[in-house]
Amino acid sequence: MSVTARGEPCEGSALRRAAARLWHARRIRRLVQALLGADAVVIVNELPCTQAACPGPATQITILGFDMSRRVLLIHRPTSEVAAADLSQLLR
Ligand SMILES: [Zn+2]
């Protein structure tokens, strides 16, 4: 097993990163639901961005309404950097 500079096993930090991504995905989902009212299913994913000019992972937010509407938002930042202000701007 390889070890990071701080002497932590990589396996552990990968697990922590996965836990952090999950935590931020839930945080974003709650923010979107609060902005929309609860009547929507919100799915949050962190994806590698397909745009060549974009360095990092992107946050994809899929909003499914009970009227069968489907909206997909893409924010060119990882989930950990998506703020409430970004979401209120997009959903206004
Ligand atoms: Zn991007």
Rounded-to-integer distance, Cα 39 and Cα 6, Å: 45
Can you give the residue range of the structural domain that contains 31? Answer: 10-91
- Residue 39's pLDDT band (boundaries 50, 70, 90)? confident
Q: Distance (Å, rounded) from C-alpha 51 to C-alpha 84?
A: 24
Confidence band for 1, pLDDT divided at 50, 70 and 90 = very low
Ligand 1: distance of its center to the CA of 21 in Å?
17
Structure confidence at residue 8 (pLDDT): 53
| Mean pLDDT on 55-80 | 92
Q: Is residue 52 part of a domain?
A: yes
- pTM given for the model: 0.80
Residue 5 within any structural domain of the chain: no
CA of 67 to the centre of ligand 1 (A): 29
In a domain, 4, yes or no: no
Question: 59 alpha carbon to ligand 1 midpoint, in Å?
Answer: 8
Find the 6 Cα to ligand 1 centroid distance in Å.
Answer: 30
Q: Look at the chain and report how many structural domains it folds into.
A: 1
Please check the confidence at residue 77 and state whether its pLDDT lies above 70. Answer: yes
What is the C-alpha separation between 74 and 72, in angstroms, rounded? 7
- 75 contacts 59 by C-beta, under 8 angstroms: yes
Contact present, 84 and 31 (Cβ < 8 Å): yes
